[in-house]
Amino acid sequence: MASVGGAPLLVVVGGGGGKVALWRERCPGCRQERKVQASDGIPYADFLYIWIACLCASLPIQSLFPYLYFMIRDLKVAKEEQDIGFYAGFVGATYFLGRTISAVPWGMFADKYGRKPCIVISILSVIVFNTLFGLSTTYWMAIVTRGLLGLLCGILGPIKAYASEVCRKEHQALGISLVTSSRAIALVIGPAIGGFLAQPAQKYPNLFSEDSIFGRFPYFLPCFVISLLAAGSCIACIWLPETLHFHDDDKAESIEELEAQVRGSESTKNLLKNWQLMSAIILYCVFSLHDTAYLEIFSLWAVSSRKFQGLSLTSQDVGTVLAFSGFGVLVYQLAIYPFLAKYVGPIKTFRPAAILSIILLSMYPFMANLHGMELKILITMASVLKNMFAATITIACNILQNTAVTQEQRGVANGISVTLMSMFKAVAPAAAGILFSWAQKHISGLFLPGNQILFLMLNMVSVIGLVLTFKPFFSLPNSTRHS
């Protein structure tokens, strides 16, 4: 044991490959890294906290879709029924616009002050602004509260870096997949909460009266329940370990810096010139745009009238379909995907998933010819498959991004990723809403029916993403070339 600048150190030399490590007992990052290196097992407790935090950050997004159409209708901002999709798109877009503005600052904050403070502040923003969204009485109040929620919920970038830092390298795929699986369980719980708890005075008159707060604010109950879950998650953050290294002595080098010197690796300070990172981020952005636009279009299309080539489902029906599909994706990510990643590799599953997604989505417009239980079963199965393909692509993109940079750059790198991805996601709901309204006003008279053009345009985004997975555009990191 030695001391540098008053900070106790533990120096470890050799031990496989001649690596040199410099530990500081007062540094939370050093303590966590020593803990990770000392154990070959999976850090289940840390993964659980990551999963809970991601879940609560995802619920406000996923719970919105079953009742958004009806909320916009009740706010009386749309002059015609066909215009509801137009206004609904901007409600979803403002959240991602706020996240676009704040993603890089949140990444810098996480790299300077730690991952844990960023996660806690993000969960607090969910509690406050998600609650206020449920109390919205005007369209502009809904827009502002969703925008502020996106602005102050900066968890997505830092949590990905965090998930790759609390475990050994061989468990990173599982850690990052948990971030995605939290979205999968949010796809189960969120739509169920939104579909079954919205408009409670109408659905459950024996429990909620029209004069109660839940009768006067028909979309407050699902938001309130999510805020309660977020409050519990905020308490659970007490047990989150910090993974960022804090060293007071500027002359001393961190563990990662010493290892980088031994390996002779180059520092990628200008991340925008790191093409391995940027090619993975651009792929992620394209498929994120597709997934967000799909979810917006699906939720609007499912509840719209048969006269506009919709499915005429209720908010409960949509909540049930999305909840079942989310459960199917959760089972896939926990029971099937780890074997695919182990024996095939996370990268080789990328293109087949994109191709199968395109084929599946081209069949959606013809489901409007079905009715009753046959329709519900088929649309649920299709939704499960669609989300499985999306999860496969998302996990691969996240792995590519995090293996293209060193630890001290992951917060900012993921911040750049979230910024660009959020820009695409901000465009997606607005564009999807505009396209959906256009399709409903052009049922016939074109070379294809409006709903078929709608899903054709959606598929074109996937085709672009698929093309971008080939050289010379795509650059695979060395660490994953033989995955």
Per-residue pLDDT reduced to its tens digit, 402-412: 777 776 677 67
What is the tally of structural domains in the chain? 2
State whether 230 and 376 are in the same domain.
no
Position 286 scores a pLDDT of: 92
Question: Does 407 reside within a domain?
Answer: yes
Percent of the chain past pLDDT 90, that is, above it, reads 23
Average pLDDT over residues 233-247: 77
DSSP single-letter state for residue 457: H
Q: What is the pLDDT of residues 31-49, one digit of tens each?
A: 767 777 777 777 777 778 8
DSSP state of 334: I
**Could you tell me the CATH number of the domain that includes residue 435?**
1.20.1250.20
Does position 112 have pLDDT exceeding 70, yes or no?
yes
Task: Identify whether 209 is part of a domain.
Answer: yes
* pLDDT reported for residue 440: 85
Same-domain status, 329 and 180: no
Pair 209, 334 in one domain = no
What does the pLDDT read at residue 133?
95
**pLDDT (0 to 100) of residue 250:** 41
Whether residue 9 lies inside any domain: the answer is no
pLDDT given at position 17: 43
The verdict on 186 and 287 lying in the same domain is: no
Residue 132: the pLDDT is: 95
**Residue listed under structure tokens 């810098």:** 108
Are 289 and 230 found together in one domain?
A: no
Q: What is the pLDDT of residue 408?
A: 67
**So what's the pLDDT on residue 29?**
66
295 and 155 assigned to the same domain: no
Between 346 and 77, the more confident residue is 77
Same domain, 237 and 284: no
Which of 223, 244, 265 is the endpoint of a domain?
244
Q: Assess if residue 4 is contained within a domain.
A: no
Q: 446 or 159, which is more confident?
A: 159
- Structural domain including 467 reads 274-482
Q: Are residues 217 and 278 in the same domain?
A: no
Q: Does 254 score more than 70 pLDDT?
A: no
Question: What is the predicted pLDDT for the residue at 185?
Answer: 76
193 and 289: one domain? no
37: in domain: no
Task: Write phi, then psi, for 482 (nearest 5 degrees).
Answer: -110, 20
Name the more confident of 186 and 320: 320
Are 315 and 180 in a shared domain? no
At residue 197, the pLDDT reads: 93
The listed range with the strongest mean pLDDT (140-144, 292-296, 435-439) is 140-144
pLDDT digits (tens, 9 = 90+) for 185-209: 787 888 899 999 999 998 898 988 8
Q: Please name the residues in contact with 482: beta carbons below 8 A apart, sequence gap of 6 or more.
A: none
Residue 227 has a pLDDT of: 94
Output the CA torsion 228→231→237→239 (10° steps). Answer: -80
Average pLDDT over residues 5-20: 44
**Do 280 and 237 fall within a single domain?**
no
Lowest mean pLDDT, pick from 45-59, 221-235, 354-368, 374-388: 45-59
DSSP H helical ranges for 135-243: 139-152, 156-165, 172-197, 200-203, 213-216, 220-236
Q: Is residue 94 part of a domain?
A: yes
**Average pLDDT, integer, range 448-459:** 86
CA pair distance 483, 481, nearest whole angstrom: 6
142 compared with 482, residue with greater pLDDT: 142
Q: Would the pLDDT of 315 be above 90?
A: no
Q: Is the confidence at residue 263, as pLDDT, over 50?
A: no
- Alpha carbon distance 289, 281 (integer Å): 12
Q: Are residues 92 and 213 in the same domain?
A: yes
> Which position has the higher pLDDT, 181 or 313?
313
Separation between Cα atoms, residue 446 and residue 348, nearest integer Å: 39
Q: Any bridge partners for residue 11, and if so which?
A: 22
Q: What is residue 28's DSSP assignment? A: H
The answer to whether residue 269 is domain-embedded is no
User: Is the pLDDT score of 265 beyond 50?
Assistant: no
**18 pairs with which residues across the strands?**
none
10 Å Cβ neighbour count for 126?
27
In the numeric block, which tokens belong to residue 127? 């509690």
Q: What is the pLDDT of residue 258?
A: 45
Residue 332 pLDDT level (bands cut at 50, 70, 90): confident
Please indicate, yes or no, if residue 11 is contained in any of the structural domains. Answer: no
Closest to 417 (Cα-Cα) out of 268, 289, 244, 278 = 278
- Mean pLDDT for the chain overall: 80
pLDDT at 247: 64
Place of tokens 């300070």: 269
Model pLDDT, residue 337 = 81
Specify the pLDDT at position 72.
Answer: 92
